[in-house]
Amino acid sequence: MWFGEKHLFSVLLLALGGASAGLCRYTVRDIGFVDLQGADYGLRLHASLELVQSRSEVLSGLDLERDSNLRFEHVIDEGPPRWGLTREGGEELLLGGLDTEAEDLGLSDVVGRVLSGRHLTELSRGALDSFAFALVIEGTSAEENRAVHALVEEAAERFELVVDQLPRPIPWPLRIVKVEASERPGEQVLLWALALDDLADDEVAMALVYGRGKLAGPVLRGENIELRELLEQLVLIGESCECDTSRAWTEEPRLPLRWDDQQRASAVAELGFDPDSPMVMGEVLRILSRGPRSEAERPLDRIESLLFGYHETDLVADALVPARGGVPNADGTPRDHERGSPRVVGAGEGDWGFADEISTVQEAERSEPQEFQKSVERRVSFLVIAGAALGGLLLLLLAVLGALLLRGRRG
C-alpha cells in the first residue's frame, strides 16, 4: 500500500515541478530575439519647417521599425539640412548632409549607411544560427590583438566545460567577428553604438552580442578584457529566464540592426515560438517582472556555480586537493584524471532549473529508503486525517442544511 502512495507523492512533485518549469521556458538567448525595447535609435532629420512640410507625405509614411530598431524623428533647424543618429541619453552621431533634391531627402541612402555595414550585416544574418558573437575590435598593436584572441579562445574552451550544465543544449557555435584596425573608419556607426568612438588606435575592445544585436554585458576595453567577465556573459546567454535570475541584463543596449520579414519567419521556425507575438511578449514581461533587478538581490548565483563548479576537498597531508568536478586548470583541463565537463550541484540539461526538488526526492529514495518512506507515510497520514476531518465537516454542514430545509417545509 505504502509503495503506491510513495510513488504517487513523487508523481505529484514531478507535476508541480513541470508546472513551474513551464513558466520559465525561455533562455536569455531566446529573449534576445523578443523586441521588448522598441526602437533603440532615432534617425533624426534636421531641416527647416518648409522643407519638412514639402516632404510630409513621404516622411509620414515611414515605418523604419518594421525592418529595424530605428525610428524616424525630425527637429526644426534653420541651419544646413542633415541627418543624425540618436540614442537613449540624447547622444547624436552626425551622418552628414542630405540630398534636398531626392523625394525622400536621401533617407534610403542614410538607412543603408546605418544598417548595411559589413559587420552589422554579419551580426544580423548570422544571429539565428549562432549562440553568440564575440565581436573583437582590433587595434594597431599585433601583440594586443593576439592576446585578446587567445583570451576569447580560452573562454570558449572553458565554456565547453560547463555547457552541458545549462538548461538546454546549445547546437549553435560561438562565432568570432573581427574588425581589423584598418576597417575602423568604415565602421563609424558600429563603434559609436558600442560607445567606442573614443577608442585609441592601439587599444583593443570586445563585446559579446546575441539575439537581435543585444549586448550580453558591458563592452570591454584594454586591460578590462578578463576571462571571468567573458565566461559570466557566455553562461548568462545560455541561462533560463528563471524567476531568481538577475534582470540587469535586460537593460543592456542593442546595436542598430536590420531585421526583415524573412528573418522574422526564420525566427519562428528556429526558435519554436514567435518572438513578435503579443502573447509571447506578455509572457516574457510577466516572467521578467518577478525577478530581482540587481546582482545584490539575487537569491542564487547560478552563474557562479556553473563557472567554478561545486567541488569537495579531501585533507591529504595538510593540503586541500580539489576532488573530481572542481575548478579547471589554467589550460582548461579539469584537475582530475579525465577531461570532461565539470559536474555541479543543481539543475542539468533540459530541466530548466526546477529539477532540484525532484532530484532531492529521488536521492532520498536511493540513499535513505526507510527514512524517506516514513516521511511519506507521515505526510500521507496527515493528508488522510485532514481529508477525513474536512469530509466530516462537510457532512455535518449538509445535515444541518437539510434539517433547516425540512423545518422550513413543515412550517
Distance of CA 248 to the CA centre of its chain: 10
Distance of CA 376 to the CA centre of its chain: 39
In this predicted structure, what is the pLDDT of residue 248?
80
Quote the strand ranges of 119-204, DSSP E. Answer: 132-137, 174-179
In this predicted structure, what is the pLDDT of residue 340?
31
Please list the residues that pair with 74 across neighbouring strands. Answer: 45
Quote the strand ranges of 256-333, DSSP E. Answer: 313-316, 319-322
Q: What is the 3-state secondary structure (H, E, C) of 299-328?
A: CCCHHHHHHHCCCCEEEECCEEEECCCCCC
CA angle 209, 179, 169 (to 5 degrees): 30
Cell numbers linked to 148: 585578446
- Could you identify the residue written with the cell 535513505? 368
In this predicted structure, what is the pLDDT of residue 392?
67
Give the separation between CA 373 and CA 367, rounded to whole angstroms.
12
Helix %, strand %, coil % of the chain (to 5) = 50, 15, 35
Q: Which residues of the chain have pLDDT under 70?
A: 1-24, 242-246, 291-392, 403, 408-411
Query: How does pLDDT run across 155-165, given as a tens digit for each residue?
Result: 999 988 888 88
- Could you identify the residue written with the cell 557562479? 304
Quickly count: other Cβ atoms within 10 Å of residue 313's Cβ.
Answer: 11
In this predicted structure, what is the pLDDT of residue 291?
65
- Whole-model pTM: value is 0.68
At residue 114, the 3 state secondary structure works out as helix
In this predicted structure, what is the pLDDT of residue 208?
97
Per the CB < 8 A criterion, the answer to whether 305 and 353 are in contact is no
Give the separation between CA 211 and CA 214, rounded to whole angstroms.
6
Give the separation between CA 251 and CA 237, rounded to whole angstroms.
14
Cell numbers linked to 347: 539543475
- Break the chain into its structural domains and give their ranges: 41-98, 310-337
Q: 1 to each of 280, 362, 380, 382, how far by Cα in Å?
A: 45, 19, 11, 16
